[in-house]
Amino acid sequence: MKPIWWVGAAALASSGIIAAAPGVESDREVLLGMLAPLVGAMATAALVVRTWAARPEALTPLMIGAFGAKLVFFGAYVTVVLKVLAVRPLPFVISFTTYFIGLHLVEALWLQRFFAGTRQ
């Protein structure tokens, strides 16, 4: 489970570095764009580890349910951020898309290593 904490720290640090860069006025958008994909990736990783340890046969239904929950969560999150918080759309969408793809790629690679290490 330690690698997921490193990923979280790296995501937070990278958003901070981007926001602190000279000429970047989109610190709020970058942070909000990173937040939901990070929460989604960390929650999935935690659920996988717990479920695999307790009941490995329940993992596939859990992942299907998590996929549906993420669909609703991300849709609602983007809507709230863009409509209610009224952030600038372009920097937010760029940040969200970049972190979404990057964190899901890291999650997929982590899952591959996790399951390769659990085979006996």
pLDDT, one tens digit per residue, over 3-56 is 777 888 888 888 888 878 777 777 889 899 999 999 999 999 889 989 998 999
The token duo for 39 is: 């929460």
Q: Greater confidence, 12 or 70?
A: 70
DSSP H helix total and E strand total for the chain:
4, 0
Alpha-carbon gap, residue 59 to 63, rounded angstroms: 6
pTM: 0.85
Tokens at 73, concatenated: 């969560």
